[in-house]
Amino acid sequence: MSDSPTMHMHAESMLDDPSTRLLNDKPKNKWRIAVSTIFCIRALLSLLNQITKTNFITSSSPVSSNSTFNVDQIALTRLVKNKDLAQLQELGGVEGVALHLKSDKEHGIHCHDAEDIPDRIKEFGSNVYIKDPTVLILLGCAALSLGFGINEHGFKEGCTNGGTILLAVIQIISVSAVSDYRQSRPLVRNNIQIEAWRGGRRQKIYVYETVVGDVILLNIGDRVPADGLLVQGHSLQVDESSMTGTDSPVEISHHQNPFLFSGTKITHGYGRMLVTSVGMNTTWGEMMSQMRQDTSERTPMQERLEKLNSLIGKVALLLAFLLLVVLLVRYFTGNTKDENGNKEFNGSNTEVDDIISAVIGIVAAAISIVVVAIPEGLSLALILAVAYSKKIMMADKAMDLKLSACETMGSVTTICTDKTGTLTMNQMEVTQFWLGKYSLEEEAYSSEISPSVLHLIQEGVALNTTGSVHKQSLDSKVEISGSPTEKAIISWGVFKLQMDMEKVMKSCSILHVEAFDSQNMRSGVSMKRNADNTVHVHWKGAAEIILEMCSSYYNPSGLVIDMGDSEKMSFEEIIQGMAASRLRCIAFAHKEVPADQNHRTMLKEDGLTLVGLVGLKDPCCPEAKKAVEDCQYAGVMVKMITGDNIFTAKAIATECGILKSSDDIFSGAVINGVEFQSYTDLERMLKLDNICVMARSSAADKLLMVRCLKQKGHVVAVTGHGATDAPALEEADIGLSMGIQGTEVAKESSDIIITDDNFASVVSVLACGRCVYHNTQKLVQFQLTSNVAGLLINFAVAASSRQVPFTIVRSIWLNMIMDTLLALALTKDKPTKELMEKPPVGRTEPFITNVMCRNLLAQALYQTTVLLILQFRGEAMFGVNDKVNGTLIFNTFVFCQMFNEFNARKLVKKDIFRNIHTDKLFMGIIAVAVILQIVTVEFLSKFEDIERLNYRLWGVCLGIAAISWPIGWAVKCIPVPQKPIFHYLKMKMH
């Protein structure tokens, strides 16, 4: 909720108005009391929020007098925020800050003392944000309003007024709760794991567990979890656009700019940082404490429903205006009579008070047209439907981030998926090793590989990596950390090549690192050996790319052999053979370079010597093929976009069912990213639907594929986990990132996080999305039926100069309680196989279908006809007075909606009672609605200005309502055209 001085002044003026004073006992003023109370609450909330925010900010930077640390939080916050190099030098540099924080820049905090981390949290705070007490305050205010009402006017009258206020406040609570929930989502994503050095070992912790003094590892695609200082890094670049608005990446260096801010993204390189501030003490936290999130975003479904509400509202306003004009003309021309048959307006003989009273009654009748027409409960019911589907998605290993995601997923026509970690298990293992033209088994490593070549391989593995090896003691197990590819290669080096990684790293000094990126598909390092001061360059990456950089190769004996065209072709065949066996092929290359060259800015990229080839096997997920088949069965195309070469991609795609065994690289179903880029715009559009696999694709290729699919009318979902997937995830209608291997940048750019990195979970999300869409259609059909019927009845009755059956109070009761409660029963259906048998709705399918129009109009016309008969003939038919007849109409209308609720369970099928006994929630909601209506009619007659009904009239209400069941069955026997009715209307207009 947003508050302003204008709103507060308006609230004060309303309170000063005698018509809204609480001392007024007239029941007709109870809704004015509710409105004024709500304004008071909003004003109080604004004040309390400001006090809470101020108190929190002023106390968020503790400086303890008995601190066990040698630096306070305020100094640390200013150090990073101001990028103060002078102050950093005064503290002894990064090493000095680490000492002040009782940490170690290499091994992190010690963690041997059980009180260490709690002490740090007590001294410097935790990496979390505050919570908003809005809902609790509102509930308290509502209770106070009810209590004061009873005390002021007695129990009976106090409950009436206080209860009305409570209902109005509940509506505000609902909006506030949803708003606060959506607002807090960007701030509570603390269940993401990061890697930190603690106690001398590399371990995973959650973001919210980060404390001041931690040493955090940063890799490309990560989001910096807290403010801090760079300890060590290579080619580290950071996107600070979230802080400064500048799109250009910022270079982070140990000497010139070691300052890192929470919330920024690592776009290149890798490194380690020392945490100096967490949570609200960070620069990002300070910004968030002074900002209010924009909650005006609307989902696609909400926009469609709002357009629907707008259309209904315009029609209602038009009818209300016409009714107002007609009634005013009839009144002032003397054509309306009172109960005694006398003219209500008799020129100058009519008193002014009577004229004002009559005009107010006419205006109220016109307003009732608008109130009864607009389906107030649609938005809330939609939110409840999505929330319920989110619960199902969480159980199916998917975590929804954006409200629109679940809705839009039901319309998806194409899924562009990556390979590694989505279709495959991302559990890599080296299964083949080629040295020269020879494939070597593990047993032959020590006997057939020259020691000099073996040492080069060990250097290439140990130095050109972002992974690490840790061993607590001689008897403890070796712990290997890093990406799945890095872990597989390091494990191979440690266990198969007998590599001592620590020894190799200490034997040399690193001069420059070229970090891996998906564009170049390689990484490199230049290093100087301590023993002889010679400088060497090591490259590692996609085999065919590294092969192009080589002009020679090592054989097992250590001899360097020139690589001619025939030899290069032989290596290409080896690479293709491994790829056809579903192996990822990685190559190592080396070159010794002159020591006098500047290796800190550029690495040698040609004339290299090929050291060896390794093949990594990544088994497909057992559920992948079934999941792909389920998508295809549901009419959704699945396209695989991967950075692997075309042969590996084809093999994996065939195994997963994306490709048929008859498809080959010449059929157009499998292409390279470069080939896709080379097409003209027309060629892309013509070949787009035929493409199933795009290999050796870059981030630009993936983004182009998504844009082309959207341009052709597809609703596109994209899966990804790397930082380079972020543009495609952002561009797609639905971005799905991986929760385990996904980088923070990818998660930030996505709409849904798949927590188990399994493509089968994508199918579950698809089913949930279709379920939400289908449930919302049932909900709209149900609510529009009651609103159309109510609109027609009120208009017809008011136009005949009769008192409208659905007054403003009754209409609000229907919208706030009956519609919302009954609609809730239609939003809880779970995904079914039947929904997956239907084709996706895409972008062009109308939301209100011909079937919905047929069902809606039949029930609305029946209700309108019956209730108009009761309105004009009910008193004579049942021998009752006008007030009882009005109650009969109101009660019959409500029960018509309850019985029509069963019809709305099935849009097409006639068996509306199938499995009704197992749907306990549905039956429970119907039971609650029945009880509420009985209580309203029998015990709250003053509240609704109605009369109690006898058993005979209750039977009449139920009998009329029950006829909607056979009508619903008969109507569903009427066929409807396949093309939407709006299509025919457009044709006629043209």
Task: Report yes or no: 199 and 111 within 8 Å, Cβ to Cβ.
Answer: yes
d(CA 490, CA 430): 10
Q: Judging by beta carbons within 10 Å of its beta carbon (0-12, 13-18, 19+), is residue 364 exposed, middle or buried?
A: middle
d(CA 889, CA 869): 10
d(CA 581, CA 578): 5
d(CA 555, CA 563): 11
DSSP code string of 8-47: HHHHHHHHHSGGG-TT---GGGHHHHHHHHHHHHHHHHHH
Q: Count other C-beta atoms under 10 Å from residue 147's C-beta.
A: 12
DSSP code string of 146-193: HHHHHHHH-HHHHHHHHHHHHHHHHHHHHHHHHHHHHHHGGG-----E
Residues near 870 by Cβ (< 8 Å), separated by ≥ 6?
877, 885, 888, 889, 892
Looking up tokens 């029998």 gives 938
Where b means 16+ CB within 10 Å and e means fewer, 859-896 reads bbebbbebbbebbeebbeeeebeeebbbbbbbbbbbbb
E strand or H helix that includes residue 326: helix 300-332
701 given a catalytic annotation: no
Task: Report yes or no: 111 and 11 within 8 Å, Cβ to Cβ.
Answer: no
Task: Report yes or no: 539 and 522 within 8 Å, Cβ to Cβ.
Answer: yes
Which of 180, 396, 418, 701 is catalytic? The answer is: 418
Strand partners, 429: 617
Q: Count other C-beta atoms under 10 Å from residue 678's C-beta.
A: 11
Look at residues 275, 284, 288 and name the one whose alpha carbon lies nearest to residue 73: 275
SS3 128: coil
| Per-residue 3-state assignment (H helix, E strand, C coil) for 89-108 | HHCCHHHHHHHHCCCECCCE
**Cα-based torsion angle of the residue sequence 649, 654, 658, 660 in order, rounded to the nearest 10 degrees:** 130
Q: Which two tokens stand for residue 291?
A: 């900002």
The vertex-504 CA angle with 503 and 508, nearest 5°, equals 110
Looking up tokens 């944000």 gives 129
Q: How many helices (H) and strands (E) does the chain have?
A: 38, 26
Look at residues 524, 644, 512, 529 and name the one whose alpha carbon lies nearest to residue 580: 644
Q: Judging by beta carbons within 10 Å of its beta carbon (0-12, 13-18, 19+), is residue 356 exposed, middle or buried?
A: exposed
N- to C-terminal Cα separation, the chain: 45
Which phi and psi (to 5°) does residue 463 adopt?
-95, -35
Task: Report yes or no: 587 and 540 within 8 Å, Cβ to Cβ.
Answer: yes
E strand or H helix that includes residue 731: helix 726-731
Where b means 16+ CB within 10 Å and e means fewer, 777-806 reads bbbbbbbbbbbbbbbbbbbbbbeebeebbb
Task: Report yes or no: 964 and 957 within 8 Å, Cβ to Cβ.
Answer: no
DSSP state of 492: I
User: What percent helix, strand, coil does the chain show, rounded to 5?
Assistant: 55, 15, 30
Active site residues: 418
